[in-house]
Amino acid sequence: MHMDPQEMDTAKDEELIPLILSNQDHFIYVVKRYKEKLYRYIMRISDFSPEEAEDVLQDVFLKVYLNLNEFDTGLKFSSWIYRIAHNQVINEFRKKKARPQHNAIDLDDDMARQIASNLDIEKETDQIILKESIVRTLRELDAKYREVMVLRFLEEKSYEEISDIIKRPSGTVSSLLNQAKKEFKKVYLRDNKHKSYVG
């Protein structure tokens, strides 16, 4: 099977794997596809500086490259690569003995509206203030809650994908997400109690 560069850019992940295994030069297409997504994810769930996040990202791609032949085709490739990033962040936390505190959480207007709607918090407010409040609340959450919120609402992963990434059963993911939503709303309302709420 042969693909030209344009086809490689648009091919499904699962179509790329055999091509990369037969020609490792094609790994660049995985890097191109996931570099920005994984960098953003690492920054969102950690307290790393941009330079540290870049180092972690390099380690992630190295592990993906070295373990590609062990990829379980029963999984989504995106879940597998996010799982490696998740593990690498945890490994770095252990090395630093630090808890995530100042996350680079970036939201666009749609993400902010989706979170506000899903959690039934302020429907009518200034978008910039809403985004700042949501980001501040996410930063205050316990790491386990923040990560499932980031994966669900910012990375837009399904329950099944989150289960694959954090290696917890789907039922546990559902429960964790429900707890995370409650905790988020509690912190949000506490920090914004001078404002009016819906719900």
Same domain, 165 and 128: yes
CB within 8 Å of 99: residues ≥ 6 apart: 47, 93, 143
Pair (73, 115) in one structural domain? no
| End residue of a domain, out of 46, 68, 96 | 96
| pLDDT tens profile 11-51 | 888 888 888 888 888 899 999 999 999 999 999 888 788 99
What is the structure's pLDDT at 36?
96
Domain count, the chain: 2
What distance in Å separates the CA atoms of residue 138 and residue 107, rounded to the nearest whole number? 11
Which residue segment(s) compose the domain that 129 sits in? 109-191
Stated pTM of the model: 0.76
Tell me the average pLDDT across 192-198: 55
State the pLDDT confidence band at 137, using cuts at 50, 70 and 90: confident
3-state secondary structure of 101: coil
DSSP string, 30-70: HHHHHHHHHHHHHHHHS---HHHHHHHHHHHHHHHHHHGGG
Q: What's 69's domain CATH number?
A: 1.10.1740.10
CA gap 132, 183 in Å, rounded: 17
Tell whether 90 and 119 lie within a shared domain: no
**Residues 16, 91 share a domain:** yes
Q: Is the dihedral of CA 173, 178, 181, 186 positive or negative?
A: negative
Residue 91 shares a structural domain with residue 113: no
117 and 54 together in one domain? no
